[in-house]
Structure 1
Amino acid sequence: MSMYNELYALTQEIEANLHRTEAAAAAAAGSAINRQIPGGAGEVTVSGQGALVSVTIDPRGLTSANGRVLGAQIAQTIRDAEAQARAHVNQVLQNASTAGPAARRGSA
């Protein structure tokens, strides 16, 4: 194969990998992460990008929680959901970046 053909094939491969990674990132960012607040007090939802979407309180789960404890539980649940969203996006991007033929060639 000529040098031009090799470069062209590599360029096409890189472009395909870029499109695959962009699509994977968009899909991950568009997903939602739901986490239960400890004690059954409700649920927190963040976007795939880690932005807070909603906090839903279930009155049935508030029987023993005081305001300070509930606030701390909600804040921690939000932080956990944000961290889970970041980890999910990072994992998706890592998987997408190692899925192409060039990555397989490099590990062979």
Structure 2
Amino acid sequence: MNYQDELYNLAREIDTAVATVAQTARGAEQAPLQWRLPGELGSVTVSGAGDLSEVTLDVAELRQYSADALARTLLQGIRDAERRADQRRRDTVAAAVTETGLA
């Protein structure tokens, strides 16, 4: 195999690896993450990109919270879910980069 063929094959391998990582990143951004709120209050769901998509609350549990405490708890839960989704996405992409040999 001559030098040009080797370069062409290497470029194809790199293109394939980059496409695999890009596809993995898209999948990780779309994968929902459900985060449980403290106690039995409920949960929040965010996309892998950290976009809030759902909040589920147990009405009976709401009565145990003041308005301020509920607001703080919900906000903290959403922030925690966003951080965890972002970390999961970064870890997934990093693993794909390593697996494809791009690292």
Structure 2 length-normalised TM: 0.91
CA distance in 2 between partners of 1:67 and 1:61 (Å): 12
Instruction: Give the Å deviation of 1:39.
Output: 2.2
Instruction: Give the Å deviation of 1:63.
Output: 3.7
Contact 1:13 1:102 in 2 (8 A): no
CA distance in 1 between partners of 2:66 and 2:51 (Å): 26
Instruction: Give the Å deviation of 1:99.
Output: 1.0
Contact 1:13 1:101 in 2 (8 A): no
User: What is aligned with 2:66?
Assistant: 66
Q: Deviations over 1:31-87 (max 9, x none)?
A: 101111112111111111101111111112224211111111100000000001111
Taking only aligned residues, the RMSD between alpha carbons, in angstroms, comes to 1.4
The answer to whether the aligner puts 1:10 opposite 2:10 as a matched pair is yes
Give the number of aligned pairs. 103
Contact 1:13 1:100 in 2 (8 A): no
5 Å matches for 1:1-108? 1-101=1-101
Secondary structure of 2:99's aligned partner: coil
Secondary structure of 1:26's aligned partner: helix
Secondary structure of 1:40's aligned partner: coil
Give the AA of the match of 1:10: L
Question: What stretches of structure 1 of length at least 5 have no aligned partner?
Answer: 104-108
Contact 2:49 2:85 in 1 (8 A): yes
Question: What stretches of structure 2 of length at least 5 have no aligned partner?
Answer: none
Contact 2:17 2:102 in 1 (8 A): no
CA distance in 1 between partners of 2:21 and 2:90 (Å): 11
Secondary structure of 1:98's aligned partner: helix
